[in-house]
A and B are shown apart, each in its own frame.
Chain A
């Protein structure tokens, strides 16, 4: 039974397929990957092509490199793109700080305390995971309208300080549960109160979960087009996604190059995050799914 070693097991034979099969699998996977990534590469190459060439030469190598697309795109939509980038940074950094603080507080309470109605509150928290944002969009808008917060970044940032992203609470609860309770008890015996335990023990130990939260919050807030569209109305408050939509309205047909250039730039922050934190992102996702 268990005496079968990996090298002799039939399963091993199944898994480590013959050379031909191996090549077939690699070919298949590479094929799928190329098809999937081609649109992105095409975007990149189009961002460097003259407009006349974008739709006539589908190949990836431009006949002449035209960096002017970038400078034209940067200033091409009324405001400079640096303004949109600054605005996006304000929103995303605010959101990240809010999520890290508020979600870790809530997660600590759920993971470490017994209190009246805990199961119900926890259930409600999981329930909000499935609540479509559209269902509360209009009443939330009227609340922020009455606070005269429309056309400010507050409706995009303040909710994050109130732990509305239950996904991250859940992620952190899972993580805190894996930290040995003995550590809390030891600190308690030494006279630490729960706040100190949270601040000095739990928070430093849950750094991996906080990093995952930071990256996902950054990417999702950066791309959260619907809320930015609803709450930001004046051009000078626009974020990167809103700035990009201005290219859609220009029907002149002569601005494809700059549009591709700015699209490429807009994807860059997410891409960089991905390249640096690829492993952590994938693992964070996988573990959150496993315990669902």
Chain B
């Protein structure tokens, strides 16, 4: 009918005159009903019911349970046995593999995230212009991100960087004699890092969307004032893009800490050679599901959670000083 939109409601408020009294009452009733409906009653809880079950049953309760388990010896088959802080003491003071893991993981995060983001931003800037075949380029650069988590890709990677693999053939063109990059403890982690950098497509797409939104007139003004490419990049592009840089940094750091599949496949589940590819998640998996030391693995899980939360918090706090929001 004629009074079916919210806009009608507002019109009614300002011009009450023409409507006949019963019609008016009807509209008031309707508006109250609308307000009540938006206030929700029990409806929102109906829609949120599955999510609530998931939140409490599969997230909050497990978080608390894993905190409890981290203070126990637990092998799944016999009841958990309280051991106080033994797991944490063992982790920090006695378990050399844990420190190998920390070393490998921090190296992986610290090298792969900046390289990946730099490459993503660089390519995004190259693509941010009227270029023929831009869709094709964007697709080609994004494809590895979509495939990158697959076991199949990690299997291929293992062969690419093997002793007689593709990478050494490539080096051969330049007269460089390569080695087996996968089985050397000094280089194995870098093959994982390269695999991560190879997947720069996701942040690239996000950067590209951000670049498209930058105001053109600022660049026009800068160009008129004679600002060169470097000046424009550091004084305009980068500052305006900082919210997106920040978003990407947070996401990529979290992602990097969680990496599991390639480390598992490339080392065939061992984390070797010499624990050099024993990323944190892989060691957690081994402890929990191969050795059935689930108490210890829970302690590791909480440490990982706190480290990621810490990194994210530091990121958010630091962002006040370098992220530029224009509002």
Contact = CB atoms under 8 A, between A and B. Distances in A.
Interface string A270-292: 11001000110110011101101
Contact of B39 (A55, A110, A114, A163): A114
Given A11-B216, A245-B265, 7 more contacts: A145-B76, A162-B53, A169-B51, A198-B47, A240-B151, A260-B156, A263-B155
Interface in A201-223: 219-220, 223
Contact of A132 (B135, B223, B258): B258
A11 B155 contact: no
B219 interface: yes
A20 interface: no
Per CB-CB distance, the 6 closest pairs between chain A and chain B, nearest first, are A162-B54, A286-B209, A139-B62, A289-B206, A109-B47, A263-B152
Given A105-B51, A109-B47, A114-B40, A33 B66 contact: no
Interface string B118-144: 000001001101111101011111111
Interface stretch (B12-20, B29-37, B92-100): B29-37
16 contacts: A15-B129, A43-B156, A105-B48, A132-B254, A135-B66, A136-B58, A138-B301, A159-B54, A162-B57, A169-B51, A185-B9, A219-B146, A226-B261, A267-B152, A282-B138, A290-B244
Interface stretch (A63-71, A74-82, A89-97, A120-128): A120-128
A194 B205 contact: no
A163 B150 contact: no
A58 to B, nearest CB: 4
A96 to B, nearest CB: 15
B247 A102 contact: no
Residue of A4, A43, A169 with highest tally of chain B CB at under 10 A = A43
A154 to B, nearest CB: 13
A178 interface: no
Which secondary structure characterizes the binding site on chain B?
helix
A1 B224 CA distance: 11
A244 interface: yes
Interface in A83-141: 101-102, 105-106, 108-110, 112-115, 118, 121, 124-125, 128, 130-141
A31 B312 CA distance: 35
A109 B301 contact: no
A292 B247 contact: yes
Given A14-B223, A38-B166, A289-B206, A135 B50 contact: no
Contacts, number: 307
A32 interface: yes
Given A105-B47, A225-B264, A134 B304 contact: yes
A138 B66 contact: yes
B298 interface: yes
B198 to A, nearest CB: 7
Interface of A: 1-2, 4, 9-11, 13-17, 22, 25-26, 28-29, 32-33, 36-40, 42-43, 46, 54-56, 58, 101-102, 105-106, 108-110, 112-115, 118, 121, 124-125, 128, 130-143, 145, 159, 161-164, 169, 181-182, 185-186, 188-190, 193-195, 198, 219-220, 223, 225-226, 229-230, 240-241, 244-245, 247-249, 256, 259-260, 262-264, 266-267, 270-271, 274, 278-279, 281-282, 285-287, 289-290, 292
B28 interface: no
Contact of A134 (B44, B47, B198, B258): B258
Contacts of A14: 219, 223
Contacts of A282: 138-139, 142, 205
